[in-house]
Amino acid sequence: MAPITVMVVDDSVVMRRLVSDVLASDPDIEVVGTAANGKVALAKIPLLNPDVVTLDVEMPVMNGLETLTALRALYPRLPVIMFSTLTERGASATLDALERGASDYVSKPASMGSIIASMDAVRSQLIPKIKALALRGGRAPDLARSPATAGTVAVTPFRGPAARIDVVAIGVSTGGPDALTAVISALPESFPVPIIIVQHMPPLFTALFAKRLDKKSSLTVSEAQAGDRLEAGTVLVAPGDFHLRLRKDKLGVVTQLDQGTPENYCRPAVDVLFRSAPESFGAGVLGVVLTGMGSDGAKGSARIVEAGGSVIVQDAATSVVWGMPGAVVGAGLASDVLPLGDIARAIQTRVARGRFSVGARAGARP
């Protein structure tokens, strides 16, 4: 099968060479061209027809955001991976790029002091994302799909009446900011349970993203801090580089943060949150797995289901990458596989159904 073709756009000669050399080391990828700014890139794209474009945020003549806006108008389905710095300015620009249609992002090496270390850092982040995004377009060679993607989708039927739902736990990665904005902004201010989110993002990014999501939602959204108490109508986002766990005390449930070993190469990891939630809420956990690379969340979903809870996942058609939700479906753990636009309504229905069912039978808690 033909290799995945990539165009590298960066104003730094050093970065263009570094990224090109990293990608050339993989036999499944071919760098078909480079550009020093967005204007040159837009002129080259129709000539080179790349499968994926890597795009620097800060460039002269035509910067990454301007280029992305023009590119999306011309090539709405072309995967674009942004290169950003781990600074507040870089994080803000990257979130702007994701809102304008960038597919994903990678962080530039913090220092170019060690070329080998810089290449390893870029390689570990960039190559898996290129392959995952190319797979979305049917271009990636030798990448096994989840068993559920190639045939009948395995779904665990939802059978009511449901247990009362007391918390919604959401896991998401690639494509997550747009997906979370669609879901959280559609929930009403009166939503009766807390929501906890693990979005794969580095430090700085999660705090800025939580602030943006708060502005677009009627719910109160913030980056989680250690000891935050879970309350109805609030949304807590796990901070970058920290696992988030839940702990029950005499007054309710609070958050715990730690920098334990990364799981699925991630910190925060969805599996950590999903394992923790049933320890405090038992069967009262509704898990939601949205678009993302890899399989983070699948093992934790098993723990939620074992405890009597249920898991909703985003479908393949509306996912940027169907890795995480596909892994849950492939394991037979999903109670619903839904388009992104239907997920907020499904969450509301499930929460209301569980509370009504328990209330009708047990007189119940408000």
Q: Which residue numbers are catalytic?
A: 173, 200, 296
* C-beta separation of 325 from 337 below 8 A: yes
**Which amino acid is residue 279, in one-letter code?**
E
Write the CB contacts of 227 (distance below 8 Å, at least 6 apart in sequence).
254, 255
Burial annotation 226-251 (CB, 10 A radius, 16+ → b, else e): eebebeebbbbbbbbebbbbbeeeee
* C-beta separation of 34 from 7 below 8 A: yes
Q: Rounded CA gap, 195 and 197, in Å?
A: 7
DSSP-based three-state secondary structure for 261: coil
The DSSP bridge partners found for residue 237 are 197, 223
H helices, E strands: number in the chain: 11, 14
Question: What spatial distance separates the first Cα and last Cα of the chain, rounded to whole Å?
Answer: 59
Kindly state the DSSP code that residue 148 receives in the 8-state scheme. G
**Which amino acid is residue 183, in one-letter code?**
V
Q: Rounded CA gap, 330 and 312, in Å?
A: 13
Q: Rounded CA gap, 4 and 134, in Å?
A: 7
Q: Rounded CA gap, 335 and 333, in Å?
A: 7
Tokens of 92: 């803000």
Q: What's the order of all strands across the beta sheet hosting 29-35?
A: 29-35, 4-9, 52-56, 80-84, 104-107
> Could you count the other beta carbons within 10 Å of the beta carbon of residue 144?
8
- Reported as type and span, the H/E element at residue 132 is helix 115-136
